Structure formats: C-alpha cells, structure tokens
Amino acid sequence: MSHPVDAVVFDWGGTLTPWHEVDLPEQWRVFAREVHGIRVDSPDVSQADLDEAHRLADRILEVESAAWTRGRDEHTSAALSDILEAAGIDAAHDRHHLALAAYRGFWEPHTHTDPQVRPLWEGLRARGIKVGVLSNTIWSREYHRGIFERDGVLDLVDADLYSSELDHVKPHPEAFRAICRELDVDPRRSVYVGTASSRTYTARSRSACARSGSRTPTSRPTSGSR
C-alpha cells in the first residue's frame, strides 16, 4: 500500500534535542573571558580585565541578536564566523580557537540527541519514509554532523541542511524547498516537525512542506539552534 508521506523533515534545537532554557549572555562571556586569557571562575583576575571581557561579550551578543532578528523578520541567514567578524573578533588571534572551544563547551550539554530519535528514524526508514533535518542555526554543517555522529544517528539522515550555509532561514519557503530537493521528494508529500510559534508556520503553506506539526515553546528558543 502506498503511503501519502515520502519524507519527514525535522527541526534540530528543541525537537531532536531536549528543550532547555539557556543563559544566552553567558555563552559570550565564556567566549570573551577565554579571548582575554581569563580562566572561567578564576579568582586571580582584575575587575578591569573582567569588565573588558564582558564588554566584548555584550558586543557579540548584540551582533548575534541583530542577526537573529533579521532572520525572524527578513528570513536571512547568518553564520557564526560572520557574527564574530562583525563584532570585531580576529579569527587569526591565537586565543580564538580556545575561545571557540569554551563556547562549544558551554553549549555541549544542550546538544544531545533525544534518545527517542534513533528508534523514531529507524521506524520511518523501515516504512520507506526519508529523514531530513532543516535547522536555523549559525553553526556549520560540519559541526552539526559531528553532533549526530557523536550521538550515533548520522547514518539515518537522508539529507540535512543548515541555514548557516543557505541564503534563507525557516519559515522562508525556499528553505523548505531546498531540503525537499536534497531529499528528492515532492514538498506536497513531506511533513515538517519542529518547535515554532504558530505564527511562524502560517508561512509554511506557501508551497513549502505540505503539513507541519509544531511543539510550541513557552519562551525563546536557544540561540545557537532553532
């Protein structure tokens, strides 16, 4: 018997990962302290150094918030490297990689794939239904795929797209069309599952995925992953 659905496309943050509240300003304080050579929670730091690091953190947060606002209002994408550059961060600085590692360490507890994902995806594929991932994110494809690999589910992904490498973010129809092209499925026979406000997904009908199921969060999604 044929089924009406050829693919299910999943959001990442809060859908494939458990929903967490995240202290968004703190992500950049962790980063900025490392740029300034300040070990997190070190007691031997002058207030002036700490203040300078926190001013940098505030600047990055401001640039990042503006990028997410543009994404929400204009559906344009952004990437972490662009945000850091716009905030005046020198990627060639010798502490840059340490700062990025600290930032990723801050996010790591919020990246774990829900244990139900593997059996769910296996069940879909057993029924001949493809699995797609479409994430509004500033993180790279390589980084996201590393997370799936770490959690033992990468082998079940038929296609995955990350807005950091696209021109548009969800709910722009082109983002949905792009993942359907990657999956080689008709958008009308595809379903999107994600966390979003109901307002966001009134836009999904514009020839994007045919149907959507959304779990509405009570607050703003995590910054690095939506």
Shortest CA distance to 212 belongs to which of 184, 179, 167, 181? 179
* 88, containing H or E segment: none
The stretch near Mg ion (CB under 5 A) out of 13-21, 25-33, 93-101, 203-211 is 13-21
Tell me, by CB under 5 A, how many residues bind Mg ion. Answer: 6
If one counts every other C-beta atom within 10 angstroms of the C-beta of residue 23, the result is 10
Residue nearest to Mg ion (CB): 195
Q: How many angstroms separate the CA atoms of 68 and 135, rounded?
A: 13
Residue closer to Mg ion (CB basis): 14 or 132? 14
Q: How many angstroms separate the CA atoms of 103 and 141, rounded?
A: 17
Q: How many angstroms separate the CA atoms of 55 and 60, rounded?
A: 9
Residue closer to Mg ion (CB basis): 11 or 158? 11
Q: How far is the CB of 12 from Mg ion (least distance, A)?
A: 6
Using the rule CB under 5 A, which residue among 27, 77, 113, 195 binds Mg ion? 195
Residue closer to Mg ion (CB basis): 11 or 34? 11
Using the rule CB under 5 A, which residue among 10, 14, 87, 179 binds Mg ion? 14
Q: How far is the CB of 108 from Mg ion (least distance, A)?
A: 17
Residue closer to Mg ion (CB basis): 14 or 173? 14
Per CB under 5 A, does 222 bind Mg ion? no
Residue 194 Ramachandran class (φ > 0 left, ψ -120 to 50 alpha, else beta)? beta
The stretch near Mg ion (CB under 5 A) out of 22-30, 102-110, 190-198, 202-210 is 190-198
Burial code of 122-133, b = ≥16 C-beta within 10 A, e = fewer?
Answer: eebeeeebbbbb
Query: Do 213 and 8 contact (CB within 8 A), yes or no?
Result: no
Using the rule CB under 5 A, which residue among 11, 34, 158, 160 binds Mg ion? 11
Query: Do 117 and 147 contact (CB within 8 A), yes or no?
Result: no
Quick note: the x/- pattern for Mg ion over 141-180, rule CB under 5 A, is ----------------------------------------
Residue closer to Mg ion (CB basis): 29 or 137? 137
The two structure tokens encoding residue 108: 């790591």
Q: Which residues bind Mg ion (CB under 5 A)?
A: 11, 13-14, 195, 221, 226
